[in-house]
Structure 1
Amino acid sequence: MVFCSGARRLVLNYSNVGTRHVKNPSADSPQRFYASLPRLTPQEVTTILQANEFTKDFEGPGSIKCYDSNQLASNNPIEDTRSEAQCLLTKELAEHGNAKEFQMETALENAFLRLDNDLSSEAMMKLSKKDAARTLAVAMSGAVAVIAHVDGPHLHVAGVGDCQAVLGVLSENDGWSTKIMTVEHNSDNRSEVERILSEHPNSERSTVIKMERLLGQLAPLRAMGDFRYKWTKEILQNVAVPYLGDGAIPPNYYTPPYLSAKPEVQYHRLTPRDKFLIIGTDGLWDLISPLEAVRLVGEHMSGKVTLSPLRLPKKNMKLSEINEMLLHRKEGLKKKPLDSNAATHLLRNALGGTEYGIDHGKLSQLLTLPGEVVRVFRDDITITVVYFDSEFLRHCPP
């Protein structure tokens, strides 16, 4: 079974490449945006959140029991995409008549690179036609992606960019822990920065990564497409500049390619303790941590709610004030999840979760932001939660 998720970026308006998202909308959102917003009813909120949810159950023996998925748009149209598929054929590799062991890591790497090369080749072939400008627009945009391949107890996850896949693991004392199955390719990843710097002359060390972005423009340091960071300067000069102007060539563009579509692949052998895998685009992880997400899904499996960690709003609080907060929190823990779909449950809590439960007002605000400002406070969000069959994994041969 293969699950994939990705977020697309179209970078043609170069003045917008520095846009950042507010990580904590409840704390940082300007109230002037909220004053005139319509107030949604609880049912209206639920209708919006559940509009794109999907659940698939599997019959028969296998490591996957089912999966839940959902999407919430910020951009219009949404720039995220998701897909799931069952592999009907596993290829055997042979070389000079001798059997050669199939390497899933290599196969996934080749799949990413071949797709990226095909996209480049197709764009080149269409540049002489009348829709060259549209072809260029697509070629100059890009996508980050993560793919999870599950074959019995074998889990491989491949990714480029900042989508994440997180494994939910139930410990022996019934607590939840995470295993991060992806590597974020951005300037926070020091080894990734050093990799890119090592591929270019020392004279470019101050320009390859600038303002925490590739050539001062692109946040993901690996991606599909985005050929304005891959094609030679001569190609860009001849085919892109006539349509897009001199801005089609990034500044300090001396020794391309600067961007790679080669994924990092991680392998994990599943055990009965591995209960589910959460795959999400960066819009989810902007709002919630991997451990919070795992706890939410884990408790959701038992029909329970999980609250955000309790934070005292001020210092030197009286015991009576703290006790009132704890009682309020206790009431929140008695409530049951509103959504049977775990992806929707994650979505609701990422947008409206507090230490006391779901804040309906906060949810309503984030779901009614006007189109011209919504992208500042939340990105497109795509979530898939894959549940594993513990009994099947318990009886898998070592």
Structure 2
Amino acid sequence: MFWGVFDGHSGWTTSATLRESLISYVARELNDTYKAAKSTAPDPKAIDLAIKTGFNRLDHEIVYRSVEKVFKASSKAVAAELLQPALSGSCALLSFYDSKSKLLRVACTGDSRAVLGRRSVSGKWMATALSEDQTGSNPREVARMRKEHPGEDNVIRHGRVLGGLEPSRAFGDAVYKWSREVAGKLRQSFFGRNPSPLLKTPPYVTAEPIITTTKVEPDKGDFLVLATDGLWEMLTNEEVVGLVGHAWSKIFGSHGKPLPVEHTRDDGPGGQKTPIRLQQWGIDPEAKDRFTVKDKNVATHLVRNALGGTNDEQVCALLTLPAPFSRRYRDDLTVQVIFFGNGEQTGEVTLNLEATAEQDAPKAKL
């Protein structure tokens, strides 16, 4: 089973391409890997390699194969359509769950985040990060890029790749991947902008994901939250897990009581941002009446509490701000919550029908 979120930037076309194609690219590689293993389970490293190959092949199609097609194009209009997914960019967070082995793999390219919620022996929930925010502020990513581009002091500048792009891994974003020669030919023949004067040894950005593997324990109530960075700019890992546990168990009231979650010193993999919007909005993170439970859809419940929770006026204000002005106050928000059942049957996906709108029904509203 696959679940994923795709967070686009500088346009929507790259994320749309990932939505349509990434799972099929990865599934094709996994199919070949499982077939080669025959009766035995594939080596874990082979599975990880298959996922990485699927990511890299799709990005190669987006960034480099598009250029080959463009030079055969008959018009600038055709060229523009072919190049759009390469010129914009997108992060990708894809999870692959084997319901038989109970192994959950999370492949992350960019700064979306996956967090596992699990009930501890105390009855409270524990939050474990299953991915790492890959940005120019992550020391491990900075070290990797400086090693790959020795002598280039500006490879990370002000926490961004060449001073411009925040994610250090992404699909598309071809201006950080094309050579000066290719970019110049495209600009001369069709359109485009001059490469950054800091561009010396591209590519600087890769779509290859970092993969983690976790054994899911359904009997402990395990659930998975996948979300774009817009959610994590507003809520901590523990707050997100506590809010899901709060909504699920409903053992606490909606006002004045702490979330049923254990606070840990270590969030797991490094690189996670702290929620920056609370300071911007002037909200006390220790306020006891921040959160509420109003929604049957848990993802909607998380979005509501990220935007203001009990403060309905703030929620409405943040939702009604028009683009691009809204970007100053909030990022795009995409959230998925997956609960791992503890039934005897495996491989079954069950919708929360009460919280799922029919095709012609109105969408969930905040």
**TM-score scaled by structure 2?**
0.73
Structure 1: segments with no counterpart, 5+ residues: 12-74, 311-327
1:344 aligns with 2:319: no
1:362 aligns with 2:314: yes
- Change in Cα spacing, 1:372 to 1:363, as seen in structure 2 (3 Å) is same
Partner of 2:10: 10
Partner of 2:109: 160
Whole-angstrom CA distance in 2 between matches of 1:214 and 1:308: 43
CA-CA distance at 1:133 after TM superposition: 3.0
Whole-angstrom CA distance in 2 between matches of 1:277 and 1:223: 22
Whether the aligned pair in 2 keeps the contact of 1:277 and 1:386 (CA below 8 Å) is yes
CA-CA distance at 1:242 after TM superposition: 4.9
1:107 aligns with 2:50: yes
Whether the aligned pair in 2 keeps the contact of 1:164 and 1:280 (CA below 8 Å) is yes
- Change in Cα spacing, 1:259 to 1:307, as seen in structure 2 (3 Å) is farther
* Letter in structure 2 aligned against 1:282: D
Cα deviations by residue, 1:95-147 (Å, 9 ceiling, x for unpaired): 9x998835321111111001111212431133131121343343111110100
Structure index of larger Rg: 1
Whether the aligned pair in 2 keeps the contact of 1:158 and 1:263 (CA below 8 Å) is yes
CA root-mean-square deviation: 3.3
- Change in Cα spacing, 1:225 to 1:169, as seen in structure 2 (3 Å) is same
Query: Which has the bigger relative contact order, CA under 8 A and spacing at least 6?
Result: 1
Aligned length: 301
- Change in Cα spacing, 1:219 to 1:305, as seen in structure 2 (3 Å) is farther
* Letter in structure 2 aligned against 1:94: A
* Letter in structure 2 aligned against 1:230: K
- Change in Cα spacing, 1:3 to 1:338, as seen in structure 2 (3 Å) is same
Partner of 2:124: 175
Residues 1-398 of structure 1: matches in 2 within 5 Å?
A: 1-10=1-10, 90-91=31-32, 92-94=34-36, 101-102=42-43, 103-128=46-71, 129=73, 130=75, 131-152=78-99, 153-202=102-151, 204=152, 206-240=153-187, 242-245=189-192, 247-271=193-217, 272-303=219-250, 304=252, 337-353=293-309, 358-392=310-344
Whether the aligned pair in 1 keeps the contact of 2:255 and 2:292 (CA below 8 Å) is no
Whether the aligned pair in 1 keeps the contact of 2:240 and 2:302 (CA below 8 Å) is yes
SS at match of 2:222: strand
Cα deviations by residue, 1:219-240 (Å, 9 ceiling, x for unpaired): 0000011111112221111113
Whether the aligned pair in 1 keeps the contact of 2:294 and 2:301 (CA below 8 Å) is yes
CA-CA distance at 1:341 after TM superposition: 0.6
Partner of 2:349: none
Whole-angstrom CA distance in 2 between matches of 1:254 and 1:241: 20
Whole-angstrom CA distance in 2 between matches of 1:208 and 1:135: 28
Whole-angstrom CA distance in 1 between matches of 2:18 and 2:61: 19
Whole-angstrom CA distance in 2 between matches of 1:4 and 1:305: 32
Whole-angstrom CA distance in 1 between matches of 2:190 and 2:233: 35
Whole-angstrom CA distance in 2 between matches of 1:79 and 1:359: 33
SS at match of 2:314: helix
Q: Identity over the aligned pairs, expressed in percent?
A: 32
**TM-score scaled by structure 1?**
0.68
Q: Which has the higher strand share?
A: 1
- Change in Cα spacing, 1:201 to 1:177, as seen in structure 2 (3 Å) is same
Whether the aligned pair in 2 keeps the contact of 1:105 and 1:265 (CA below 8 Å) is yes
* Letter in structure 2 aligned against 1:260: T
Structure 2: segments with no counterpart, 5+ residues: 259-286, 347-366
- Change in Cα spacing, 1:188 to 1:372, as seen in structure 2 (3 Å) is closer
Whether the aligned pair in 1 keeps the contact of 2:137 and 2:160 (CA below 8 Å) is no
CA-CA distance at 1:280 after TM superposition: 0.3
